[in-house]
Amino acid sequence: MNIDQLTEVAYAMVQPGKGLLAADESNSTIKKRFDDINVENTEENRRDYREFMFRTEPAMSERISGVILYDETIRQKAKDGTSMVDLIKAAGSIPGIKVDAGAKPLQCCPGETITEGLDGLPKRMKEYYELGARFAKWRAVIDIADGIPTWTAVKSNMHALARYAAICQEADIVPIVEPEVLMDGGHDIKRCAEVTEWVLKTLYQELYEMRVVLEGTVLKPNMIVPGKKSPKQASVDEVAERTIQVLERCVPVAVPGIAYLSGGQSDEEATAHLDAMNKIGGFPWHMTFSYGRALQAAPQRAWSGKPENVAAGQAAFNHRARMNGLASTGEWSADLEKQAA
Active site residues: 178, 220
**Closest Cα partner for 47 from 74, 16, 67?**
74
3-state secondary structure 300-315: HHHHCCCHHHHHHHHH
Dist CA 165 CA 159 (whole Å) = 10
Half-sphere exposure of 293 (CA within 13 A, CB side): 16
Distance in angstroms (rounded) separating the CA atoms of residues 172 and 219: 17
Closest CA to 137 of 146, 147, 128, 150: 128
d(CA 118, CA 167): 9
| Dist. CA 287–CA 273, nearest whole Å | 11
